Structure 1
Amino acid sequence: MRRAARALGTYVSRSPVTAGYAALLLSTHLWASAVLSTAEAQRVVLGVSTHLDNLQDRPVRVLAGSMLFFDGTLTDITSEAFAGTLITLGLGVLVCLAWLERRYGAGRAYGIFVLGHLAATLLTVPLILVALAHGWYPESVRHAADFGISYGAETVLATGALLLRRARWLAAAGVVAWPVLGGDWSGVLPDFTTVGHLLAAAIGFGCGAFLLRAARRAAPAPVPQPAPALVE
């Protein structure tokens, strides 16, 4: 218990913003799942869902509110939803976002997270509109529940994968494999959340490449060493 308490204290002191954000996500999840009734929780979820109708009526509210919840479970450990929680909340926020905060500061870390969340969400809108116009997606997509931190988590996971010194490409392949293997590819187009996660990964890889280039430019140039004197 003492070791766990010390580890938690170290984590909070080194990544205070991520620790606070994780606590907020857990609080909203427990509030919606344990305090509210099923109908009330559904209203809350639909209120922050980034579907087409909400984005048209109240874009700022839903884009911000969607980042306050994660779409998963903490109790049904044998379900696919729990695996999603481990990836998004566990690896994405608690591990990768915290690491980015420690290494680059909270501003850059959360700038990447928010950029991925916003850009991936908004870039899927034209795809959905075209798919609806051609009958590739059902009309129910206009108001389907779509909320959570997964686009932002995918972005920071991709960024972190590219910044690894070892197993970089293996980690990057794992980041891409998650939406590819878990998505629905049965229709003319994959479901829009799969496309959104792949876009978020691309954004994250771009951010990682930018940070790598910036680090190389900031690295001091090697100091030339004098040639050894010849001994006759």
Structure 2
Amino acid sequence: MNAPTPRGLLPGLLRTVRTYPRRSPLTFGYVVLLLLGHVWVENLLTADRADALRDHISTNLDNLHDHPVTALFGSALLFDGTLTEILSTGFGSTLITLGLGVCCCLAWAERRFGALRAAAVLLGGHIGATLITAAVILLALRHGWYPESVRQASDYGISYGAQTVLALAILAVPRWARLPWAAFVVAWPLSGGDWPGPLPDFTTVGHLLAAALGFAVAAAVALTAARRRRAEGRAPADVRR
């Protein structure tokens, strides 16, 4: 007689962790890369070199004008947060962006849509939100809504891409939870942002734009699926067989 199969939350969680690299290899590799990069910058580089690296890959206006490719892609290889200061707001940001956004939602997107499409959503959100935010900053500077120092501001990390994937994951939650999920995705960047003038600070703007991109992709996916179902429903019976 075979032993009964263990059931419950803990066995399911352990099984998910054990099969994670096989089921979501792109996400797993990206998370490992992010963790290695974090350890390298925070623990192996000197403070001056670490600050210089962060300044070089920050996606501010000056860097986007001087070396846009290095800034955009270099920024996507680090996360702006902490793994050790668990009582800080930075750790909460890490939990949302790296933990929920990348580890969970990107893995789900990879399993549902494939590795290339999931990567396209992540990078599209990261690059798209960054460039649109840059245009917003230029407009704000023209009207005096932001100080000139924003041109050299430090702004690096994965949070815009993670925010886009978080918004896309509205497709993964039950229908009754979609409105609360959307409210969470929009609300968390606003909870810690400043509002120096008619616009919130530029990082809050970037997160809201990234969320809008993710919701737009989710709406397009849902609309395409609905059209496909209607088309299949109108197909003749012999064609469906």
> Does TM-score exceed 0.5, indicating one fold?
yes
Q: Give the Cα separation in 2 of the matches to 1:211 and 1:88.
A: 23
Given the alignment of the two structures, is residue 156 of structure 1 paired with residue 162 of structure 2, yes or no? no
Q: Determine if contact 1:70/1:89 at 8 Å carries over to the other structure.
A: yes
Structure 1 unaligned segments of length 5 or more: list them: 226-232
- In structure 2, the partner of 1:221 is 233
Among 139, 143, 168, the residue aligned to 1:130: 139
Structure 1 residue aligned with 2:8: none
1:50-75 Cα deviation digits (max 9, x unpaired): 00110001111111111000000000
Mapping for residues 49-198 of structure 1, pairs under 5 Å: 49-166=58-175, 167-198=177-208
For residue 145 of structure 1, give the secondary structure of its aligned residue in structure 2: coil
Q: Secondary structure at the match of 2:233?
A: coil
Opposite residue 192 of structure 1, the aligned amino acid is: F
1:180 Cα deviation after fit: 1.8
CA distance in 2: counterparts of 1:44 and 1:5, whole angstroms: 37
Structure 2 CA distance, aligned partners of 1:70 and 1:168?
27
Aligned residues between the structures? 225
Where in structure 2 are there 5+ consecutive unaligned residues?
1-10
CA deviation string 1:106-149 (max 9, x = no partner): 11111111111111100011221122223221221111110000
* Counterpart Cα distance in 1 of 2:151 and 2:33: 28
Percent sequence identity over aligned pairs: 56
How many angstroms apart in 2 are the aligned matches of 1:4 and 1:103?
Answer: 19
Q: Quick check: 1:206 aligned with 2:216?
A: yes
Aligned-pair CA distance for 1:221? 2.1
1:16 is aligned, of 25, 29, 34, to 25
Paired residue type of 1:82: F
Instruction: Report the AA paired with residue 233 of structure 2.
Output: A
Which residue matches 1:228?
none
Q: Give me the whole-angstrom Cα distance separating, in 2, the residues matched to 1:199 and 1:14.
A: 30
Task: Report the CA distance between 1:216 and its aligned residue.
Answer: 2.2
Indicate conservation of the 8 Å contact 1:163/1:212, yes or no: no
1:162 and 1:172 in contact (8 A); partners too: no
RMSD, aligned α-carbons: 2.1
For residues 166 and 17 of structure 2, the distance between their equivalents in structure 1, rounded to whole angstroms, comes to 22
Amino acid in structure 2 at the alignment position of 1:221: G
**Quick check: 1:35 aligned with 2:44?**
yes
SS in 2 for 1:183: coil
Pair 1:5–1:171, CA change in 2 (3 A)? closer
How far residue 206 of structure 1 moved from its aligned partner, in angstroms, is 0.4
Q: Contact 1:66–1:149 (CA<8 Å) still a contact in 2? A: yes
Q: Is the Cα contact below 8 Å between 2:59 and 2:130 reproduced in 1?
A: yes
1:78 deviation in Å? Answer: 0.2
Greater displacement, 119-128 / 71-80 = 119-128
User: Match of 1:43, as an amino acid?
Assistant: A
Deviation at 1:169, TM superposition (A): 1.0
TM-score (norm 2): 0.87
1:143-174 CA-to-partner distances (Å, cap 9, x unmatched) read 11100000001101011124423301110111
In structure 1, distance between residues paired with 2:113 and 2:233 = 21
In the superposition, the TM-score normalised over structure 1's length comes to 0.90
| CA–CA distance in structure 1, aligned partners of residues 170 and 92 of structure 2 | 19
Moved more, 167-176 or 177-186: 177-186
